[in-house]
Each structure stands twice: as C-alpha cells, then as structure tokens.
Amino acid sequence: MEHKYIEIKGLSKIFTRKKESVHALENIDFSVDRGELVCILGPSGCGKSTLLRAICGLDTEHSGDVFIDGRKVIKPEKTRGMVFQEHRLFPWLTVEENVAFALNGVDKDTKAELVQQHIDLVGLTGFEKSYPRQLSGGMAQRAGIARALVNDPELLLLDEPFGALDTFTKMAMQKELKQIRKKSNTTMIMVTHDIDEAVFLADRIIVMSPRPGSIVKVIDVDLAEPRDRNSYEFLEIRKEVFNEF
C-alpha cells in the first residue's frame, strides 16, 4: 500500500497523574511528505511538545499511531534529530563535547571535522570550549541545534528552537535552516509561536486549538523562494494564519 513519509493517525494523549488527568491531544491526523517543512502553531499548553515527543518516539503511551516510512514508531532513533524546547545541553560537557556526544561510531578526525563544521554553522565559533552555563540562552539553543544537526538526520524535529534568539540572529538562523534543507533535503517539523517565522519557513502550517490540542486548520504556504516578508502574498497568508487566533 502507498504511504506517506510520516503518517500520524488518530493520535490522542491523556496524561494521568494520581486522580487528575490532562487531555493533551485529541485525534490528531496528518501526514508529511519527504523533504517537507511543516510548522505547528498553537497556544501555549496545547500539546505541541507532546506531539513532537510522540513523533520522535520518546513517548509511546498514547492512543493512535505514528508511522515513519511505513513503520510504526516505537522508540527514538538517531535518524530523527530532536531540538528540545529547553536546550538540554549536558552541563558537564563543553559545547564541542556536547555536539560530539551525538556522534557514535565515527572516527576521530571525521568527528572533529563534523563538530567544528556544525559549531561554525550555528555561529558559535570561539565558544567550543565553553560550558553551557557560560553561554547565553540563545547561544545554548544554537548549540542544541548543532547537536541535533551533526548526525545529519533524515527528520529534524524542532521545538521552538529560535525562541530565545533576538530578531537578527533568528532571521539568520531561519535562512540557515532553509540552506540545510536545500542541501540535504531534510524533512522538518517545527513548533513555533511566531507566525512570521512559520510563514517564512513552512510549506504547510498546522494550527492547533487549545487543550485538548486538535488540528483546527492546515494552511498551505505556496510562496516562491526567496520569500519576501513584506510582499503582498506573504502578508495575506500571515493574515489568514492570524485570523485563526
């Protein structure tokens, strides 16, 4: 049977702690093509991180299924890179050691080269030997992105990766992400709060409702590259997304 690269079928998630329960996701259904960049927008607490964790395979206690390449996701795999909402760098490792941690079974020279390349990519050159506590929030986030990219994942899951960045760094990182995508055809699913960011980056925007999170609208972003943030078409789509909130 024909299948899409990623298929999410009837995904629902209820967290239960003691007697309380939180209905986080309700019947999420969507699919993603290989090489596509999908942005997920939604109010805080609507289950965006929960959804990414399910796709990654970090959380498999839910009803419904996630299929990648026709196979059911039952555990995390290194072909799926995850950039967590909090940077989650290991405090006892330097930036370069943190990035290198993701690489297994790679010889020393290649490793050093890949690590340096990705540190340069996120603009942290000169901070290789710094510990996470010596970095600003935005720098730590960028180091986290380098760590997720260094494995050259097939699928990149990004949970508000640019949340702590200033406007200019953010725009530079968005361009960088587009470059990476063009170069390696990585499929990306990105959670964001920023409508402009979503319209600038995405092929498709999925808008979610507040708890329990469900999909309220899917918006195709058919804009020519390079996208101009001030063009009429850009602003039209921006308005369309905005109206959902």
| Among the listed residues 9, 101, 216, 234, the single contact to another protein using CB under 8 A | 101
State the CB neighbour count (10 A cutoff) for residue 136. 11
Structure tokens at 118: 């990705």
| Among the listed residues 19, 91, 107, 232, the single contact to another protein using CB under 8 A | 91
Q: What angle do the packed helices 108-121 and 137-149 form, to 10 degrees?
A: 140
211 binds ligand ATP per the rule CB under 6 A: yes
Structure tokens at 220: 């195709």
In angstroms, the CA 114 to CA 120 distance is 10
56 binds another protein per the rule CB under 8 A: yes
Stretch that binds ligand ATP, among 43-51, 65-73, 199-207, 227-235 (CB under 6 A): 43-51
- Sketch the per residue contact string, 15 through 34, with another protein: x for CB under 8 A, - otherwise: --------------------
CA angle (211, 212, 218) in 5-degree steps = 95
Structure tokens at 13: 């998630």
Write down the least CB distance from residue 210 to ligand ATP, Å.
Answer: 9
49 binds Mg ion per the rule CB under 5 A: yes
Burial of 209 (0-12, 13-18, 19+ CB in 10 A): middle
- Residue closer to another protein, measured from CB, 130 or 169: 130
| Among the listed residues 30, 36, 39, 48, the single contact to ligand ATP using CB under 6 A | 48
Q: Which residues bind ligand ATP (CB under 6 A)?
A: 15, 17, 22, 24, 42, 44-50, 85, 211
